[in-house]
Amino acid sequence: MKYTEEHEWLLVEGDLVVVGITAHAAEQLGDVVFVELPEPGTEVTKDEEVVVIESVKAASDILAPLDGEIVEVNEAIVADPGKVNEDPEGDAWFFKMKVEDMGALDDLMDEAAYKDFIGA
């Protein structure tokens, strides 16, 4: 897994990258009550707002971690946003994307670097 400074995790699955938020991010948000996902087929650029997530504490945006195309979204977390709190680094992934440059993943943090980043 790779991690961003925006508390997203990325997992390579074949030629796709699965994106979600970390357990640390889910904990900081509190109980998630609403998730709005992008449409599959949406072209995104790095740092573009692609997901809106609302919790009892705050509203937050999830940014595209890399340039590419959204190819699949996780409708289960739209139907039941609480899944984001239950399994943020597993079943509660947000979207899958085709990344323009898989080499860009090398610029992201590994798990040890992310733990240092959050002070864990």
> What's residue 40's pLDDT?
97
Note the pTM of the prediction, 2 decimals: 0.95
> What's residue 78's pLDDT?
97
Residue 120 has pLDDT above 90, yes or no: no
> What's residue 14's pLDDT?
94
Here the contacts of 5-11 (C-beta below 8 Å, separation 24 or greater) are: 5/109, 5/117, 6/62, 6/63, 6/65, 7/118, 8/62, 8/63, 8/65, 9/89, 10/65, 10/66, 10/105, 10/108, 11/93
Contact present, 37 and 78 (Cβ < 8 Å):
yes
CA neighbours within 13 Å on the CB side: how many for 1?
19
* pLDDT digits 0-9 by tens, 57-97: 989 999 999 999 999 999 999 999 999 999 999 999 999 99
Residue 13 has pLDDT above 90, yes or no: yes
